[in-house]
Amino acid sequence: EVQVEESGGGLVQPGGSLRLSCAASGFTFSDHYMDWVRQAPGKGLEWVGRTRNKANSYTTEYAASVKGRFTISRDDSKNSLYLQMDSLKTEDTAVYYCARVSVVLPAATDYWGQGTLVTVSS
């Protein structure tokens, strides 16, 4: 069974940092691109960024709203995805979802975790 599970959310002050993790199981993690998507309270979905797989040099893409502040990385040996968030702003408050990208590209995200809440507040 495909599973992805986020962790690491919590309360952080503006200007602070936080690192989210996503543990994957039930599929060959190293084959897949992976996304982060967020949802502010009561709002719609916002794509945060993507990491490609080893075959594509682990390159990344980011939304303009987080570029230069957030960094996506992965450790295929641990089947894990990470989101390092620096210089956090109040508008980064959201539930953050980790999502698997289907293997045949271009592809939609076909499995999502349950999300982890990040609250940026003083």
Partner 1 sequence: DIQMTQSPSTLSASVGDRVTITCRASQSISSWLAWYQQKPGKAPKLLIYKASSLESGVPSRFSGSGSGTEFTLTISSLQPDDFATYYCQQYKSYPLTFGGGTKAEIK
Residue of 64, 68, 77, 122 interacting with partner 1 (CB under 8 A): 64
Rule CB under 8 A: say whether 31 interacts with partner 1. no
Rule CB under 8 A: say whether 108 interacts with partner 1. yes
Rule CB under 8 A: say whether 109 interacts with partner 1. yes
Rule CB under 8 A: say whether 51 interacts with partner 1. no
Rule CB under 8 A: say whether 68 interacts with partner 1. no
SS3 state at 4? strand
Contact between 78 and 106 under an 8 Å Cβ cutoff? The reply is no
- Least Å distance, CB 100 to partner 1, is 10
Backbone angles phi, psi at 31, to 5 degrees: -80, -20
Rule CB under 8 A: say whether 74 interacts with partner 1. no
| Residue 5: how many other CB atoms lie within 10 Å | 14
Q: In angstroms, rounded to a whole number, what is the distance separating the alpha carbons of residues 7 and 19?
A: 9
Rule CB under 8 A: say whether 107 interacts with partner 1. yes
The CA angle 7-8-12, to the nearest 5 degrees, is 150
Rule CB under 8 A: say whether 58 interacts with partner 1. no
Q: In angstroms, rounded to a whole number, what is the distance separating the alpha carbons of residues 118 and 122?
A: 13
Rule CB under 8 A: say whether 106 interacts with partner 1. yes
Binding residues for partner 1, per CB under 8 A?
35, 37, 44-47, 50, 61-64, 97, 102, 106-115
